[in-house]
Amino acid sequence: METSGIGYRVFVPLTTFYEVPDTGEPLTLNIHTSVKQDAIHLFGFLDAADRDIFQLLLAVNGIGPKLALNILSGIAAGELVKALSEGNLKRLVSIPGVGKKMAERIILELKEKALKFMAGGKVVDANPDLPDADLREDALSALVNLGYKSQAANDAIEKAAGSIPTHLTLDLLLKNALKALSG
């Protein structure tokens, strides 16, 4: 990409690459800059939402910029958000470079964020129709992964669920369960 006579190497996912105009045509990209000890890499996206999803992927342990870019090359950003919010492990595993363990980690760490992520430029709240049993199961899984014993975590979740007077959300359930576990 050339800007004011200076050429920049910008890495883009295939979804962006296919929509880039012909050489010489104007192009605006939303850039994520990755600074490492020995290099500065630019990652470009046509939509700010795509860049935001890229940055969400970077927050997952074990995913660097190249793998995040590969994931967004294998699945459109909107479809990725949908797959994450539904916990669609099969769809994530179908992306080259993403194995079962990585897909499980991505879903575990990003499912709740995907439920709240942007849809049409507006933030969508967590799905109010998600059954309480699924929320409790997700909370139990999160607490066990944090190192709590299953029975203690389950007791804390039950106590937390009973203390929430309004609609139950995973965020609120985990916060109250952690309070209960800390004494």
- Cα-based distances in Å from 74 to 15, 31, 98, 170: 8, 19, 10, 29
Same domain flag for 114 and 139: no
Task: Please say which residue of 123, 140, 159 terminates a domain.
Answer: 123
Give the span between the Cα atoms of 99 and 103, in whole angstroms.
6
Give the span between the Cα atoms of 100 and 38, in whole angstroms.
32
Question: Domain count of the chain?
Answer: 2
SS3 (DSSP) at 102: helix
pTM: 0.59
Query: Using an 8 Å Cβ cutoff, are 161 and 173 in contact?
Result: yes
Domain with 144 in it: 132-182
Give the span between the Cα atoms of 70 and 55, in whole angstroms.
13
pLDDT of 84 reads 86
Task: Please say which residue of 123, 143, 173 terminates a domain.
Answer: 123
Q: For the domain that residue 170 is a member of, what is the CATH number?
A: 1.10.8
Give the span between the Cα atoms of 114 and 134, in whole angstroms.
16
Same domain flag for 69 and 95: yes
Q: For the domain that residue 14 is a member of, what is the CATH number?
A: 1.10.150.20
Same domain flag for 90 and 147: no
From first to last of its 183 residues, what are the pLDDT tens digits of the chain? 778 888 888 898 988 888 888 887 888 888 888 888 888 889 999 888 888 889 889 888 888 899 999 999 888 888 888 888 888 889 888 888 888 999 898 988 888 787 776 344 333 333 344 446 667 777 787 787 778 888 888 888 888 877 766 566 777 788 888 888 887
Same domain flag for 61 and 117: yes
